[in-house]
Structure formats: structure tokens, C-alpha cells
Structure 1
Amino acid sequence: MNTRGGNNGNRNNRKPSFSKGGSYDKNKQDGKSSASKYNKPFKKDDKPFKKWDKPAKTEKPAAVKDDTIRLNKYISNSGVCSRRDADLYIQSGNVTVNGEVVTEMGYKVKPNDRVVFDGVLLNPEKKVYVLLNKPKGFSTADDENVSSAYDLIRNASTSVLKPVGRMDKSTIGLLLFTNDNEMIQKFTNAAQHSSKLYQVSLDKNLKYEDLEKIQTGVYINEHKVWVEEVSYVENQPKSEVGIKVKTSNVKVVRAVFEKLGYNVIKLDRVMFAGLTKWGIARGQWRFLTEQEVINLKNLK
């Protein structure tokens, strides 16, 4: 009796065998040894696949630096007007490049091209205007023994910025830096009429009669210092005084009080040509807005 059950002893009922490669081997099924290539034992030195050679890395050609700039942007960077207005001037034939009138929109120029806008030769460097709330201990003077105020705004621009006017290390408050030489000349000119407001801290209370003398004008080196306004600071001791003048020289402000026998402990410029310290912490700076720049240029 077949105790293993079924038809296991029946050769015809055996499951078909498969080669190692997964293919059905008919020759083996028939009891013959296979000469098929599929039945060859695998050897380590067999190389059924061709080695893939990585293609040599080709160097990309160096990118050619394009140093050209659109004409309207060139004009805008010079600070004379906006790009939109520059397009109008270009279309009207008021712009020349290297002596030739250009009216083409999108025309590009190189940095060394000579661009004349409405009869004025332009400087392509973009104008930068930085307002600093200068702390004590920094000066605009070129003195190796004193920290430079320029160091506080050095990272504001790749252009070299210059201060508008001078400020010693003891004076604090608003100081404008720019690469706009025309604006520097404008606000350092003695005939400039923009107002500067200072808060002055004195070593003693300012007498009312001395306050009136300052209002009418004090002579410094035989020159009368005109004061727009002077008053005590509200809710402060009488040693705290606000004074508004047009001069850009802060030394003159000190000299006014020293002339009357007072020592200036602190001098803080809190307003300059309509610009205030609002939102600028001591030692910090910000860029002027486009409207603020326009306002400065319109001041007489």
C-alpha cells in the first residue's frame, strides 16, 4: 500500500523542474543532460554585461559677462529721474550716447559710454542715501584715534559714501551719508536754508534773558548766528533746550551757548532737513525713501 498518498510515485505527475535561471528545461525533463547555455554553472569571471564607461566630463564654456545696462535704467541710476520719465526723454530725442541721439526703447549702453541727458553728462553710479542715528564716540573727521562714523554704515553700499556735513565724536543724532556729490555740496553750502533741530543739554539752567539773546542772534567771530527758534524742552528741566538753526556746522551750535557761559553736556541732532530719528535706534541706519530724496532735492 502506498502510505504516502496520492500519485507521488508517478513520474508523470512530478512538477516540472526549472533551471537556475528560471527557464523550463525540456532536456532535463526527458532525462537528457542539457548542453544549453542556460545550464552552465555561473562563474565569477563571466561578464555577461559590458562595463559602462562614464562619458568624460566636458567643461562648459565660460559665461560671457554682460556689463551692458538699459539706457533708461542708466539714466535712473544717475538720479535725475525715474525710468518711466527717462523713457519719455529718450523718445523725445533729449538723450545722446557717445554723441548720437538715441530714441530706441530698450537700447543698452556700456559703463564707459558717454550719456548726455538733456545737456548734462550723467554718472551711471546709482545714488545711495543712508540716514544714520550716530551714537557718541564716532566722528566724521579723519582721525586714527577716533572711531569713524562711516564704519557704522559701511555695509550699506558697495559705493563709497560721504557724510553730509561734519559731526564730532561728542555730538549725536542724525547724519546723512551719500555718494551724491551734488547733494553734499547743496547741504554744506553756507547759503543753504534747510532747518536742523538740536536738543541741547546744558550744565545748568538756561536763564530766560539768555534764551532771548540767542533768539535775537549771538555773534561768533564777528558773525551773527541766526536762530529760527529756541525754547525750553517741554516737561524737562530748564537745562534742556531745543534750538533750530540753518547752519550745517554743529560747532556753531555749541559756540552759541559757550558764548553765554554754558557748557554743552550733550548735543543731539533730532531733525535734519525734514528728516527725523523716528524708527531709527541709536547706532542704527536706514535708506531714505524715494519721496524723501525728492523732498531733499526740492529744498531751496
Structure 2
Amino acid sequence: MERLQKVIAKSGITSRRKAEKLIVDGLVEVNGKVVTELGTKVSEQDEVKVEGVPIEKEKLLYFVLYKPRGVITTVSDEKDRKTVVDFFEDYNERLYPVGRLDYDTSGLVIMTNDGEFTNLLLHPSHQINKEYVVKIEGIPSKEKLQLFKKGIRSDGDILKAKYVKVMSTDRKKNTAIVRVVLHQGKNRQIRRMFEAIGTPVQKLKREKFGFLTLDGLTAGEHRQLTPEEVAELKKLAR
């Protein structure tokens, strides 16, 4: 069930604020009856008419995208750089990313047109694991990595990792590969954390979001989530 004004806005015919005015003005019908209450909720089965014309309800879509490096995680870019939306030009629905990955970060991004689903996944109280593989300059000590779990203060934020482990090291090149699991989603969080301990990030990739992985995808490819996966993500967030 969704609020009537939200359903009207999602159909694309007007904004939510204007939809509210249409309702108050008595220009909206639900199942043949005029509705003027803004708190009214409707389901997918209800027929909604605005000024006598049935609205077309947008089909809800859910995807996993393997975002390449050098792509912006927004719906548009003022510098005309490639965005994650550009990979979905074959769809009429207005898709957008759930959260963000940096321009220079690759990996898993969820794309959808379901605002309620997006808010559910991004709410701070719903601690969903996000797993990253990081190539860094330098080889950090165990003591420094322990700071990730305790929390690192950066620009007014306390940045924490749920899990951190060095997977491999290259003494000749003075680099390391580190696996990091976050609950938080602060701006440039992983890069800021590694910069704080003196081992700047060279490459960064998000490999998992909850139980979702990039299996079977190469950079720039996407796949649609199954109804079971969508239901499981909602369950995981709640």
C-alpha cells in the first residue's frame, strides 16, 4: 500500500505536491469514488483516475549493475560524464542507484525505481553488510587495522568497519590487498579510513551487498533481481 499522491507522482503525470492539490480539489478517483483525503493509501489492484483519466502505474524494477571505474553513480552529470543510468537506456522506467560508489570505485550497485525499497536499504538502522576488496599503498600493521573497528575520526564523522583483513601483500611493490566489510555508508569512507592510517587506496571494488554478488557479470553488465531476491533484501533490511 502506498499513499495516493505518491502513486500519482510515480506515474509521471505531475509532482507529488501538485498531486496533493489535485486530491484536495476532488479531481482524483479511486475505484470510481472521489477521494479528497491526503492520507489515503492504495494498492496495485486499485484503479486511480486523475481528472477522469486512468494513470499508468510504473512497473517496479530491480537490478544489480557491475559499475566500471570512471562512471558517476547519479542519474545525470553536469559535466556530461557517463552515469550508471546510461547502462539502462533500453528501459522507459526512471531508474536510479541505491546509494553511491565513487567515480574511481568499481563494483556492485543496485538500481531501481522503487523509492520505498531504496529508503529501506539505506536507512542507518538497517545494517546491511557491504563488502569491498581494496588495493592499498603500503602494508598496514594489525594495530592500525584494529583502529577500523574502534572507529576513526574524520571530518566530524566516526568511521567504522565491521570486518577488516589483509588478504595478501607484495613486499617488492609495497602494496596489500585488504577485504573490508562496512555497515556505514559515509562519503568516500574506505578511502578516508586508509588515508588516516597512512596507506592510501590504489583500487577499490565493492563485491557484495548483503547476499548479492557480481557473479556472472563483467564491468558494465547488469542483471534483473528475482522476486525472491527482492523479498530477501527487504527481509534483511527489516
CA gap of 1:149–1:284, structure 2 versus 1, over 3 A, is same
1:294 corresponds to which residue? 231
> For residue 195 of structure 1, what is the aligned residue in structure 2?
129
Look up the match of 1:128.
61
Name the counterpart of 1:257.
Answer: 194
Describe the superposition over 1:227-278 as per-residue Cα deviations: whole angstroms up to 9, x where unpaired. 2110012x55461000101123451121111111221111100001221111
- SS of equivalent residue, structure 1 residue 139: coil
Shift of 1:280: 1.2
**What is the distance in 1 between the residues matched to 2:64 and 2:207?**
12
TM-score of the aligned structures, taking structure 2 as reference length: 0.71
Using a 3 Å threshold, how does the CA distance of structure 1 residues 223 and 112 change in structure 2: closer, same or farther? Answer: same
Matched, 1:273 2:206: no
CA RMSD of aligned residues (A): 2.6
CA distance in 2, matches of 1:274, 1:160: 25
Match of 2:16 in 1: none
Q: Taking structure 1 as reference, are residues 249 and 287 closer, same or farther at Cα in structure 2, changes over 3 Å only?
A: farther
The code of the aligned residue for 1:189 comes to: H
Identity across aligned pairs (percent)? 28
Q: 2:101 is matched with which residue?
A: 167
Which of 135, 140, 143 pairs up with 2:78? 143
Q: Distance in 2 between matches of 1:250 and 1:221?
A: 11
Partner Cα separation in structure 1 for residue 80 and residue 143 of structure 2 = 40
Partner of 1:215: 149
The runs of 5 or more residues in structure 1 that have no matched partner are 1-77, 79-95, 101-107, 114-121
Give 1 or 2 for the bigger CA radius of gyration: 1
Aligned residues: 190
- In the alignment, what sits opposite 1:177? 111
Amino acid at match of 2:112: T
Partner of 2:4: none
C-alpha distance in structure 2 between counterparts of 1:285 and 1:249, whole Å: 25
Higher strand share: 2
1:33 is matched with which residue?
Answer: none
Q: Which runs of 5+ in 2 are unaligned?
A: 1-10, 12-29, 35-44
Which structure exhibits the higher relative contact order, with contacts defined as CA atoms closer than 8 Å and separated by 6 or more residues?
A: 2
Q: 1:99-143, CA deviations, whole angstroms, 9 ceiling, x for partnerless residues? A: 59xxxxxxx875637xxxxxxxx9932110011001111012423
TM-score (structure 1 length as normaliser) = 0.57
